Amino acid sequence: MNSKLAAEETDFPVSDQGVSANARRARWEELMAKYKGKIDVGAGKTFLADHYDAFAKRPEAPSERTLCGHVDLSPRGLKPWQEEFGPAGTVQSKIADAAMARRMELEASMGHACGIGFDAAAHLKKNPRYAWQKPLLRDLPSRPWTLFAAGR
């Protein structure tokens, strides 16, 4: 990342490690170093479902700062885009290795890669300030990883 360019072109706080994108990048870098030379589709699926908060150093803390992206579970939200417990976050994941790409294949899952589904009614009950979204907000159950291939 070029922090000079980011400072010249954006107002993104590159030095604030508590910001979602920075915390998530730190976690990606940790996992890439730890699994160097051993990354495959299975490892990638595990990474995409990861709930480790690299800023708070807390395992199993799903939030906007984890790779699995649970803004809806975050007491911080993802400001200025989403307030606390905003109904947002990762809603799909995709992965492929080089052999799959050559065959025009990928695996994908709908919902959070970790398997935690989103229940709109339960979320609105816990967070009534989002009641205005009720007419449009839908459940998003997590779906299993599925192989997609071109021409099949």
Long-range pairs of 34-42 with CB within 8 A, sequence gap ≥ 24:
40/97, 41/95, 41/96, 41/97, 41/100, 41/107
- Eight-class DSSP state of 114: T
Q: For residue range 65-83, list pLDDT tens digits in order.
A: 999 999 999 999 988 889 9
CATH code for the domain of 68 = 3.60.60.20
pTM across the whole model: 0.87
Closest to 142 measured CA to CA, from 92, 72, 73, 74: 92
Split into its structural domains, the chain has a count of 1
Closest to 113 measured CA to CA, from 61, 55, 46: 46
Q: For residue range 91-145, list pLDDT tens digits in order.
A: 899 999 999 999 999 999 999 999 999 999 999 999 999 999 999 999 999 999 9
- The residue segments making up the domain with residue 68 are 3-149
